[in-house]
Structure 1
Amino acid sequence: MSRARAAGRTGDRLLTIWAVVVFAFLFLPIVVIILSSFNSGRLLVAWDGFSLAPFAALVEKPAIRDAVMVSLRTGLIAALLASLLGTLAGIAMARRPGRWVWWFLGLLLLVSVTPEIVDAIALLPWMVFLGQDLGMAMFNDGTVRLVIGHSLFSIAIVSYIVRARLVGQDARLEEASADLYATPARTFWKVTLPLAMPAVLAGFLLSFTLSLDNTVVSAFVQVSGTTPWPVYVLSSLRSGLRPEIAAVSTVMLLLTLVALALVALVLKRAGDSATDIARTMGGG
């Protein structure tokens, strides 16, 4: 019996050590970038001393400032669009079940698993066709292109999350509202939307974070003058990775972590358990 316990303890220790090694392998590069963002040198490969000057580049250098603003603006608009369309789709799937739901879920799954490079290659000629061949000027605008490209995947994510939220809610609340002579529109605004609101907010924040680091689609559909931050970083690697790039990347990482923390907080304040939060954020 004692040998079995000793063997079990040894196994637990080995698993703990392995877990530490795996997490270190995954997160040490991020830690290195964060530390490098305080480097006063010209390139990250050479540490010259501690300095906050790289963070000032966010304000002082127009190219970096414009790239960050493009990413933030695109992320907010794409998140709003994805939240609107994804919420309507999620509510429809949860409250109007039928065979069509499984076909629609299959379509959303196809959007979710399609490689970004395929989406990017498909979007570029389509937007060129709409903007130049058909003369629809809005599709020549860089922000419009980025918003459309970023919101495709996010709409599917919001749809999953809202559907998962409402499937676990009692539909009799909406039926009671109808029994009290409320119109469908009033029932939607007073009952259905408040029930789905935690998932809507979670989907909005997740859509925003997904847009911030969208590189492949952005690199294909962007036009001159609307270069988002990830594409700017990619192009800057040709001349060497500079500390200001690491500094702004650190700021963007903090924004992402804050958004994810807000997602968990919104769902927790809505009364969800940790399991429910993980299920809702995963769209399960």
Structure 2
Amino acid sequence: MRRPNFLYMILALGFAFLYVPILLLVIYSFNASRLVTLWGGFSTQWYASLLGNQQLLSAAWLSLQIAALSATGATVLGTMAGMVMARFGRFRGRAIVGALVTAPLVMPEVITGLSLLLLFVSLEDLIGWPEGRGMTTITLAHVTFTMAFVAVIVQSRMASLDESIEEAAMDLGARPAKVFFVITLPIIAPAVVSGWLLAFTLSLDDVVISNFVSGPGATPLPIEIFSSIRLGVTPEINALATIIVGLVSAGILAAGLWSARQERQRRRDEQLARQGAGELMPISSPPQDAPPH
């Protein structure tokens, strides 16, 4: 059926709304003029200038470290939470557990950041840890609000997973831990990777919560950029943003190709398993005629 041109127009407007600003940022990172709104010719001088800006590079490196650590921690905790919500069925307090897991999705970041700040201050007064505000507090804060996104993704994937595959493995003598690492985890691996990438992205561009739990010695890149643009956007920021866009795009492309490859492999394995099961089914012999009386 031929689709109306109106739908294609809406699709084009949606993509333009999302990606034209990013495209303009990439274009103006090669601007020879120091004024980011005035095109002065093609130049790569701001990329060379970025290499000498230690303040921006240090903030970017700190943000990448925090994002990697928080995404890994959020993936571990979110995967466990998603499996509990998908596999444990109904139990007393399930509604409360589900609300607590998904609360960071709807909680305003101002409230989350303020509550975590009060928590860290109270812990420092009671046990002396964490000492001050820095990379540790930012990482813990990011794990707190990103694990909810991972839990929702993993739970949705676990809900569509056929439990008979796991039950068959346990019937053959496999222990639950082995079933998880050999059967369950490879099947839900695309969802786990997607959750890690989402948590990494959310941590990398967070401003509000990081503003509450960061200290003078640890300034992530979003806060550094937010502070500097009050005096105007510099071409070095455009260059750094272009590099980050390139790295994130490459990571998403690699993850998408890997997920597609895993899905094709899973379908081949299921097809081979069905064929093998069909070959092992006993062939019933035709009914014999009853002997004459």
The answer to whether the superposition gives a TM-score over 0.5 is: yes
Q: Secondary structure at the match of 1:206?
A: helix
Task: Map 1:4-153 onto structure 2 (within 5 A).
Answer: 12-14=4-6, 16-99=8-91, 100-131=93-124, 133-153=125-145
**Cα displacement (A) at 1:237:** 1.1
1:184-199 paired onto structure 2 within 5 Å: 184-199=176-191
2: distance between equivalents of 1:159 and 1:199? 10
More helix by share: 1
CA gap of 1:19–1:167, structure 2 versus 1, over 3 A, is closer
Could you say what secondary structure the match of 2:39 adopts?
A: coil
Per-residue Cα deviation, 1:53-74 (whole angstroms, up to 9, x for no partner): 2223443211011011011000
Q: CA deviation at 1:217?
A: 1.0
The C-alpha deviation readout for 1:207-246, integer Å capped at 9, x for no partner, is 1111111111112211122211111110001221100001
Return 5+ residue gaps in structure 2 as ranges. Answer: 265-293
Q: Is the CA contact 1:142–1:221 (under 8 Å) kept in the aligned structure 2?
A: yes
Q: Shift of the alpha carbon at 1:52?
A: 1.2
How far the C-alpha of 1:18 sits from its partner, in A, is 5.0
Paired position in structure 2 for 1:252: 244
Give the aligned partner of residue 239 of structure 1.
231
CA shift for structure 1 position 199: 1.5
Match of 2:211 in 1: 219
Q: Tell me the distance in 2 between the aligned counterparts of 1:70 and 1:260.
A: 21
Alignment CA distance shift 1:179-1:41 (3 Å): same
In structure 2, relative to structure 1, the CA distance for the partners of 1:164 and 1:30 (3 Å cut) is same
Change (3 A) 1:18 1:200: closer
Distance 1:128 1:17, change over 3 A: same
Query: CA–CA distance in 1 between the matches of 2:209 and 2:49?
Result: 26
CA separation of 1:21 and 1:80: change in aligned 2, threshold 3 A: closer
Q: Give the stretch that moved more between structures: 93-102 or 221-230.
A: 93-102
Matched length: 262
Residue 84 of structure 1: CA displacement? 0.7
Distance 1:190 1:20, change over 3 A: closer
CA distance in 2, matches of 1:162, 1:140: 34
| Structure 1 portions without partners, runs of 5+ | 1-7, 273-284
CA–CA separation in structure 2 for the residues paired with 1:202 and 1:13: 33
Q: Provide the rounded CA distance (Å) in 2 between the counterparts of 1:173 and 1:152.
A: 32
Based on CA coordinates, which of the two structures has the bigger radius of gyration?
Answer: 2
Q: Which TM-score applies when normalising by structure 1?
A: 0.83
1:58-100 deviation line (CA, Å, top 9, x unaligned): 4321101101101100010001100110111112222211144
Report the Cα distance in structure 1 between the residues aligned to 2:73 and 2:150, rounded to whole angstroms: 10
- Which is worse superposed, 80-89 or 110-119? 110-119
Any conservation in 1 of the 2:120–2:130 contact (CA below 8 Å)? no
In structure 1, C-alpha distance between the alignment counterparts of 2:138 and 2:189, rounded to whole Å? 26
Percent of matched pairs sharing the same residue: 36
CA contact under 8 A between 1:165 and 1:199: conserved in structure 2? Answer: yes
AA paired with 2:108?
A: P
Aligned to 1:267: 259
Given residue 240 of structure 1, which amino acid in structure 2 is its aligned partner? G
Distance in 2, Cα, partners of 1:139 & 1:81: 21
1: CA distance between counterparts of 2:94 and 2:153? 15
Amino acid at match of 1:208: F
CA separation of 1:125/1:171 partners in 2, compared to 1, >3 Å: closer, same or farther? same
Partner of 2:154 in structure 1? 162
